[in-house]
Structure 1
Amino acid sequence: MRRLLGYFARGLVLLAPLVVTVWVCWLVFTNVDGWLGLPIPGAGFVATIVLITVVGFLGSNLLTRSAVNLLEGLMGRLPFVRLLYGSTKDLLNAFVGEKRRFDKPVSLDLAPDGGVRLVGFVTQESLAHLGMSEYVAVYCPHSYNFSGQLHLVLATRVRALDVASADAMAFVVSGGVSGLVPAALSTGEYATVRTS
């Protein structure tokens, strides 16, 4: 009986991610096709990808950059829209924009002896504008969730991780199941490897 339960658990681990991935992709394809009213399955998804790419190209062009700046200025003046637009833009820029914020993975010492640590990302290397010149801002994402917490800590309590940002994010989001190599957690202090 125990062996059968083991086989079931292994099958569940193999099938569940595949089924969830196929289901989400199917939902995206069918919903986008339905919104655009296209009869060919997947054509709406492809059209959306092309549209986003064209808008990105036009936004990078010198001729349309002034129009983009005008639109952003307008969005920045409207009270509720400013909050929604600015937050969404900052979030997307943190992951995929030209000004990526989650590109400096670190471990943060929670206990004075370094016995307890969080994995996060330095988002600001200087907090002098807040009167905290010896501090850095570290964003620590939550596991299995689309949220996190911002910590303002002394730079000496933060240690650089010698890993790719994607691996550090996968490590945190997966609850420590995947991503980082344990040796990466024992690197030197962040303050000693800062770049200007």
Structure 2
Amino acid sequence: MVSSLSRGGNLGKRRSVMVRSIFLMALVAVWAAAIAAGPTGAVDLPATQTTQDLIRAAAAGDGPRVAALLQAGADPNVVDETWTVPLHHAARLGRLDLARMLVRAGARLDWQDVAGVSALILAAAGNHFQVAEYLIRAGADPMVEDVKGRRALDYALNRGKNDALARMLRRAEINRPTKKSKTGT
């Protein structure tokens, strides 16, 4: 260090680089340990395989496979490269049975993919009234917006096929609890 100071080296900059390097090495070590630990529960598959299997099963609407993977301990909040979670697939397909399984297993209701789309938005866009109603009753926020600022109600109105869905979403928005009031009024 004395030689770097005598040569006019920037000690602060070198420390900053060293701290960043140590941080990145620690982050990689934690990440590697998490992968090596695998998912919780008695699952014989590696974590990445279980993750891909659950996403594929949900995307295919394969209820028995989704149930088996959840029973085996698969994480209901696994994401793919576009941040899509299994609950998104259940909502897009209008599969109330899958949505119930995933929510009971702990799926996050308001998770948004890279486009800001939530499961409730997908259910509304597909005119899947029962799934949308279930998600709202389970606690999904009807005010969640995608990256273009559109909410589930906007998608339901745009489709125009299900007035009951639009009415339900309007009521959910009106009755939504706010930070000031727990009743939403």
Q: TM-score, normalised by structure 2?
A: 0.35
Greater share of residues in strand: 1
